[in-house]
Amino acid sequence: MNTDTFPVVVGTCLDAEAIWFNKIGENEHRPVMLSNGAYAIREGLDPLLDLFDRHGVRSTFFIPGVTADRYPDAVRQIGDRDHELASHTYSHMSAVGTTREAEKNDLVAGIDALEKITGERPSTWRSASWEFTENTLDLLIEAGISVSANYHDTSRPYRHERDGKPLPIVELPVQWHLADAPYFLYDGALPGRMPRSAATAYEVWSEEFIGSYEDRPGSFYHQTLHVQLIGHPGRLRMLDRFLTMIKEHERARFYTCAELAATID
Ligand SMILES: [Zn+2]
């Protein structure tokens, strides 16, 4: 990786309703709960895409197959605006506790759903809630996925290995505190997790960005967003300030996941 630049990756999940389908079994029959997800499509996506354009950010959008099937026009719009389209399972369910066969079927169906719309197979993949089973890595390689954005073990991109031999898949590690969900995801019930102020997220993200930029050579900054959470007016203003702050750092460069992974040996 070129250490003259400091890579910044913005990964954006377009979960829409999928994030709520499986949190509680009954959500499928709770239209108001699901309307939290519809907000991503109806209100959140357009201003977020405009904000990315203004800052010259090409994001990697992680889209569950079920969301791609429901909103193919949104998938096309994101691709047409030059962002990377990445797979995010079909069902947005954790594969933990399921069979290898069930996990494989869901993973492949998620990739197929995007290919059906765009004609291209995605190279980047994220699980639901960053959960893996002992089979996931092998299933990803079998499915032709070459970039994973899931592990939390380093602040640097790396190639997965087994028995000292490199595998054909690069990891771009993520961190929960650099996602919007811990601050903004509300589970719809009291007592429950309450939304935090956008200023809290800005404070944590900017401290980590500046610390990584100044103190940790060879690292990168990996932001995780969800359209249905970040796409509200006040939070978008915070994101605007955050991207402006990043651009004031002269070595900072925005990469998609696929672009950054291509720089890793
Ligand atoms: Zn998701």
HEC assignment per residue over the chain: CCCCCEEEEEEEECCCCHHHHCCCHHHHHCHHHHHHHHHHHHHHHHHHHHHHHHHCCCCEEEECHHHHHHCHHHHHHHHHCCCEEEECCCCCCCCCCCCHHHHHHHHHHHHHHHHHHHCCCCCEECCHHHCCCCCHHHHHHHCCCCEECCCCCCCCCEEEEECCEEEEEEECCCCHHHECHHHHCCCCCCCCCCCCCHHHHHHHHHHHHHHHHHHCCCCCEEEEEEHHHHCCHHHHHHHHHHHHHHHCCCCEEEECHHHHHCCCC
Residue 64 Cα to ligand 1 midpoint, Å, equals 7
Residue 226 Cα to ligand 1 midpoint, Å, equals 7
Residue 14 Cα to ligand 1 midpoint, Å, equals 7
For the cut 80, the answer to whether the pLDDT of residue 77 exceeds it is yes
pLDDT tens column, 180-204: 999 998 766 655 677 899 999 999 9
pLDDT tens column, 1-50: 556 899 999 999 999 888 776 655 567 777 887 888 899 999 999 999 99
Residue 20 Cα to ligand 1 midpoint, Å, equals 10
For the cut 70, the answer to whether the pLDDT of residue 208 exceeds it is yes
Residue 229 Cα to ligand 1 midpoint, Å, equals 11
Cα separation, 58 vs 52, whole angstroms: 7
For the cut 80, the answer to whether the pLDDT of residue 160 exceeds it is yes
Residue 214 Cα to ligand 1 midpoint, Å, equals 30
94 versus 112: the higher-pLDDT residue is 112
Residue 243 Cα to ligand 1 midpoint, Å, equals 22
Mean pLDDT of the chain: 93
113: which 2 tokens? 């759903």
Q: Which residues surround ligand 1, an ion (CB under 5 A)?
A: 13, 15
169: which 2 tokens? 């898949």
For the cut 80, the answer to whether the pLDDT of residue 239 exceeds it is yes
Residue 15 Cα to ligand 1 midpoint, Å, equals 5
Residue 216 Cα to ligand 1 midpoint, Å, equals 29
Cα separation, 53 vs 208, whole angstroms: 24
Residue 65 Cα to ligand 1 midpoint, Å, equals 11
Say if CB 166 and CB 141 are below 8 A apart. no
Residue 4 Cα to ligand 1 midpoint, Å, equals 32
Residue 75 Cα to ligand 1 midpoint, Å, equals 15
Query: Which band of pLDDT confidence, cut at 50, 70 and 90, is reported for residue 93?
Result: confident
Single out the residue of 83, 93, 84, 87 nearest to residue 65, CA to CA: 87
Q: Which domains does the chain have, with CATH numbers?
A: 6-261 (3.20.20.370)
**Residues found in the chain:** 265
Single out the residue of 213, 225, 216 nearest to residue 249, CA to CA: 213
240-252 mean pLDDT: 98
Say if CB 112 and CB 67 are below 8 A apart. no
Residue 130: left (phi > 0), alpha (psi -120 to 50), or beta? left
pLDDT tens column, 101-144: 999 999 999 999 999 999 999 999 999 989 999 999 999 999 99
Cα separation, 180 vs 202, whole angstroms: 10
154: which 2 tokens? 């380093």
